[in-house]
């Protein structure tokens, strides 16, 4: 799986994960030197295991270009809506109020 993530990223794909899925992006080295988030319960663990990542436990999602991470399950909806809006325009996703 880590090779598939890295290969997809190298080919130009956008990679996104939320909650503990962020650990897969971290293990693949795709968020080294970047900001990232995950479920608040696992933020310290992510920071301890991957010190090259700036973990922001209070963020709902973090967009680092072609690498996007989100917090817990509910924040995954926010992350998906953000990506819809970013990639396809505001007409495809509800606007923030």
Catalytic residues: 19
- Residues 67 and 16: their CA atoms lie apart, in Å, by 6
Alpha-carbon separation of residue 10 from 5, 28, 38, 47 (angstroms): 9, 12, 23, 24
């Amino acid at each position: 799986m880590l090779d598939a993530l890295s290969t997809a990223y190298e080919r130009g794909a956008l990679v996104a994960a939320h909650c503990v899925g962020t650990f897969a992006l971290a293990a693949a080295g795709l968020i080294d030197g970047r900001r990232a988030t995950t479920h608040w319960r696992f933020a310290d663990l992510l920071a301890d295991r991957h010190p090259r990542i700036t973990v922001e436990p209070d963020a709902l999602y973090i967009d680092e270009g072609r690498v996007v991470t989100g917090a817990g399950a509910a924040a995954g909806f926010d992350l998906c809506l953000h990506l819809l809006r970013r990639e396809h325009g505001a007409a495809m996703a509800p606007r923030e109020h």
